[in-house]
Structure 1
Amino acid sequence: MQMTKRSLPRATPEQVGIVAKQVIAFLDDVRKHESELHSFMLLRHGQVAAEGWWAPYTPELPHMLFSLSKSFTSTAIGMAVHEGIITLDDTVVSFFPDDLPGDVSEHLAAMQIRHLLMMGTGHDQDTMDALIAAEDGNWVRAFLELPVPHEPGTHFLYNTGATYMLSAILQKVSGRTLIDYLTPRLFEPLCIENPTWDICPRGINTGGFGLNVTTEDIAKFGQLYLQKGLWNGVRIIDEEWVNEATSKQISNGDGGDSDWAQGYGYQFWRCRHEIYRGDGAFGQFCIVMPEQDAVIAITAGTGDMQVILNSVWDHLLPGFLPDPVVTDESSVALSEYLAKLQLEVPQLRSESMLEAQVSGKRYEIEQDQMEQAPFPLKDFCIEFDTDSARLTLKLECEDSIILGREHWLSESTITIEGKDTRIAGSFTWKSEAELVLTLQAIETPFRVTLEVHFIDDAVTIHSRYNVGWDKVNTVHGRAVD
């Protein structure tokens, strides 16, 4: 299938043998299970047959991939192997003689690149926390200093630090960061524009997380693997690498109904039904279905990723037929369904008599509470208009967010952890004195809900996230203007 310069070709579900009512059943099922999808793209025979974004998410926005980044890192390693600058048998310690501990254990000495790829390093816990905690910012040294209790290759442990080490090795041998290495080899041929990737304190791409691309970029990546590394007739990835990386390299459980126990390849998960995938926390998926000649790309903000996979197997999988199917009323229903997708905003009470009293007042959060995670609010001010409001708050610096009155407005960018973060916002009143603010970071899975209770010149703010943190954070403040 010939791709256009920037986009994948489109087709109707019926043209590529997909039953539209099965796609509707999938969408209904994820909604029933309250699985918060942000985007969905279904490809068959190289063509996009169904796609949708839950407003305020939109097609052009990148999305945090979390551990789906790992599959891209694996791809870079495969390319480096094909170019002959590394081999899978190379030992990890051989690349970093200046960062080795005084006593190199037998297991550390035996650890190879292939063990990093298959998550079989021999560690008994994920190394990432120790890397981030390294006071000198030397994540490589922190990794090499950790004990390796198991013989490499014998013990599966999901280990994001191992993927970071792949990035560090690639940078060491190529002289380029992971993203710079992949740009001419992967991103440019696939017309993946403006990818970004987090770096460690020493300028090495994080590898195991931190890549940000669009949903269609995820779909292109999956289609490339489905085509065994060919793109528009040009070899991008060695076919042998595609086969090896997506095959079971190490056991990670006893199978059964869990798609996290079907075996692990080189930064790819094996699934039931002879399917494989890359995935990331909170529901970022690139699902490759060779027998169906299909790819599914999903971004989401959910705490139960297995539920989404179950919905794919239960509803989408039976919808693939060998030949085109007849268009019926479900085809129109699917188009209408996809066009109306949105994340619902709270709609409790559109107005309060209190608005005039609190509008424009600045509330300062009590000093001993302002740094409490996960939402380190320092001060707060909201000004109401007819159909919107302007929320001015100080986290790392002072930022403003435009909120819609019981609808989304996506006009704001604020700074979080040093990064510009696009926000969609809405507000409603829970009662005469309780305001509910919804802030959706629309390039991430995250949403924070602020419940603001006004009492005279005091304010109490409860904050909670949709995913990632369980606890509700409560702070108190007083009007200072």
Structure 2
Amino acid sequence: MSSLPRSTPESQGLSTGALDAFVAALDASGQELQTLMLMRHGQVVLEAEWTPYRLHERHALFSVSKSFTSTGIGLLIAEGRLSLEDKMVSFFDGDDLPDKISDHLAAMEVRHLLTMSTGHMQEVADSIDRDPRMVRTFLGLEVEHAPGAPFAYNNRATYTLSAILQKITGETLLDYLRPRLFEPLGIDEATWQLSREGIVTGGWGLSINTESLAKFSQLLLQRGEWDGKQLVPAAWIDEATKKQVDNSNQDNEDWRQGYGYQFWRARHNTYRGDGAFGQYCLVFPDHDATLVITSASPDMQAVLDLTFEHLLPAFEGGTGDGTPRPATLELPAPTGSAPQGNGRTYQLDPNDTGVTAITLGETVTLTLQVPEKSETLDIVCTPGDWTEALDTLQDPPQRLVTSVSGEGDTTVVTVRYVETPFVATLRCRPEGDRLTVDLHFNVGFGPLEATLTSK
């Protein structure tokens, strides 16, 4: 995989002190930054990783995936195989279509899917991973308004774009983009989740590393040109990243500046792809700069606020407030006393976490099992610093780190899946022959708390 060129901040018109103050502010913000990379004039001038996270490892991008889907649609249009005005229902047969096609559904165009102005009244962003027929379900939803009506965030619309591309090309969105986008950019680690009907999910599910996301953001800044070749038409980048629909019905300031073709407009003439819990691909056209971030942020607006507060003055020659960059960037393992485990193995009642058994001792063993698979995996967790392990039940396998500490009779296990934002804390309380586990997630799409019990 080819690397991006590196440079000192000063040679690209920036102050090292200003960038150090930016990193320090992010580190102190409580937003749990994991990695970041800043480019100016085509050069990497700042890169940082918070241990145990690594710049070169894949990271789940969540809805940043949508911006890649948009790029695939733009390429398909450039090839003359699709148009913005094509009717969405024209790509699907009777097995996917509802018995009665409403006038609003019949009027829905590819353009409306791209701009999330499909005519649905409310956000269509519910959990859909378990839906075996997502296209059919989407087409069966009531379309309350004529397409082009107010913006409503819509995961299923992006999924349907991926389905349309697959119908036209006979290959998945990932396979379509490999020779046209990923390989020219030197991105060879990309994975993208498939739905149960064999379609790339489109609106989520893409994983690439931080530098690869920086390459994509630089491609956007360069209006589709890379190494002297026009990979994506400049006109498409221009249209995709400008305001196409009004989204002033959104709550946060940088989410109501307008929406393009699967890109958000933001303040200060910037635009971005963003994903849940603080995954960012932010482009500053006025300053010839891009910033990418992976994180587990509980407040995504706070990250943007800090970015604008520190980087905009830096682009204008500011030197920062003198705050030094922390000597160490890390998310340390929890501290505590040694665990007081009893050496027993507890079989857990059925649950949605994948943990089927826990063995408590000086170390803790978590037994994992993926639904619908018979094989199990033991993850041994030790006290002190992070212990690395590989979850081979995932496809592809994922690195995780664990640590154990004690609080009296309670054993506390912390698990970080470092290719994602997710951190699980398991507070294990033995009570006679039974074990109760109070489970907490740092971020998530559903409840963050659960209780597991042994059999």
TM > 0.5 between the two?
yes
Deviation at 1:252, TM superposition (A): 0.2
Residue 110 (structure 1) aligned with residue 101 (structure 2): no
Deviation at 1:167, TM superposition (A): 0.5
Q: Structure 2: which amino acid aligns with 1:465? A: F
Contact kept? 1:126, 1:161, Cα under 8 Å: no
Q: Structure 2: which amino acid aligns with 1:412? A: L
Q: Secondary structure at 1:48's aligned position in 2? A: strand
Matches for 1:238-249 after TM superposition, within 5 Å: 238-249=233-244
Distance 1:58 1:206, change over 3 A: same
What's the counterpart of residue 160 of structure 1? Answer: 155
What's the counterpart of residue 116 of structure 2? Answer: 119
Matches for 1:355-374 after TM superposition, within 5 Å: 355=341, 358-359=342-343, 361-365=344-348, 367=349, 370-371=350-351, 373=352
Corresponding residue pairs, total: 449
Distance 2:411 2:130 in 1: 38
Contact kept? 2:35, 2:49, Cα under 8 Å: yes
Distance 1:452 1:419, change over 3 A: farther
What's the counterpart of residue 206 of structure 2? Answer: 211
Q: Secondary structure at 2:106's aligned position in 1? A: helix
Candidates 87, 100, 103, aligned match of 2:97: 100
Candidates 172, 178, 195, aligned match of 2:173: 178
What's the counterpart of residue 263 of structure 1? Answer: 258
Contact kept? 2:219, 2:226, Cα under 8 Å: yes
Deviation at 1:253, TM superposition (A): 0.3
Distance 2:55 2:249 in 1: 38
What's the counterpart of residue 379 of structure 2? Answer: 401
Residue 344 (structure 1) aligned with residue 321 (structure 2): no
Contact kept? 1:400, 1:412, Cα under 8 Å: no
Q: Structure 2: which amino acid aligns with 1:111? A: M
Q: Secondary structure at 2:158's aligned position in 1? A: helix
Q: Which stretch has the larger CA shift, 450-459 or 31-40?
A: 450-459
Contact kept? 2:402, 2:415, Cα under 8 Å: yes
Candidates 122, 136, 149, aligned match of 1:141: 136
Distance 2:304 2:270 in 1: 11
Contact kept? 1:392, 1:398, Cα under 8 Å: no
Residue 198 (structure 1) aligned with residue 193 (structure 2): yes
Deviation at 1:63, TM superposition (A): 0.4
What's the counterpart of residue 411 of structure 2? Answer: 435
Q: Secondary structure at 2:194's aligned position in 1? A: coil
Candidates 35, 42, 45, aligned match of 1:39: 35
Q: Which stretch has the larger CA shift, 53-62 or 223-232?
A: 53-62
Q: Secondary structure at 2:397's aligned position in 1? A: strand
Q: Structure 1: which amino acid aligns with 2:190? A: P
Distance 1:18 1:113, change over 3 A: same
What's the counterpart of residue 91 of structure 1? Answer: 87
Residue 422 (structure 1) aligned with residue 402 (structure 2): no
Distance 1:428 1:472 in 2: 20
Q: Secondary structure at 1:405's aligned position in 2? A: coil
Deviation at 1:457, TM superposition (A): 3.9
What's the counterpart of residue 365 of structure 2? Answer: 391
What's the counterpart of residue 151 of structure 1? Answer: 146
Candidates 437, 453, 457, aligned match of 2:429: 453
Matches for 1:246-395 after TM superposition, within 5 Å: 246-253=241-248, 258-321=253-316, 333-334=324-325, 337=326, 340-349=328-337, 351-352=338-339, 354-355=340-341, 358-359=342-343, 361-365=344-348, 367=349, 370-371=350-351, 373=352, 375-384=353-362, 389=363, 391-395=365-369
Contact kept? 2:252, 2:301, Cα under 8 Å: no
1:233-274, CA deviations, whole angstroms, 9 ceiling, x for partnerless residues?
110010000100000000000799710000000000000000
Q: Structure 2: which amino acid aligns with 1:204? A: I
Distance 1:13 1:402 in 2: 43
Contact kept? 1:130, 1:143, Cα under 8 Å: no
Where does structure 1 differ by over 4 angstroms across 4 or more consecutive aligned residues? Answer: 130-134, 254-257, 328-331
Distance 1:321 1:199 in 2: 44
Give percent identity, aligned residues only: 42
Deviation at 1:410, TM superposition (A): 1.7
Residue 18 (structure 1) aligned with residue 14 (structure 2): yes
Distance 1:29 1:460 in 2: 39
Distance 2:107 2:83 in 1: 14
Contact kept? 2:58, 2:189, Cα under 8 Å: no
Structure 2: tracts of 5 or more residues without a match: none
Deviation at 1:73, TM superposition (A): 0.2
Contact kept? 2:355, 2:366, Cα under 8 Å: no
Q: Structure 1: which amino acid aligns with 2:365? A: L
Q: Structure 2: which amino acid aligns with 1:476? A: T
Distance 1:455 1:100 in 2: 54
User: What TM-score comes out, normalization by structure 1 length?
Assistant: 0.88
Distance 1:248 1:31 in 2: 32
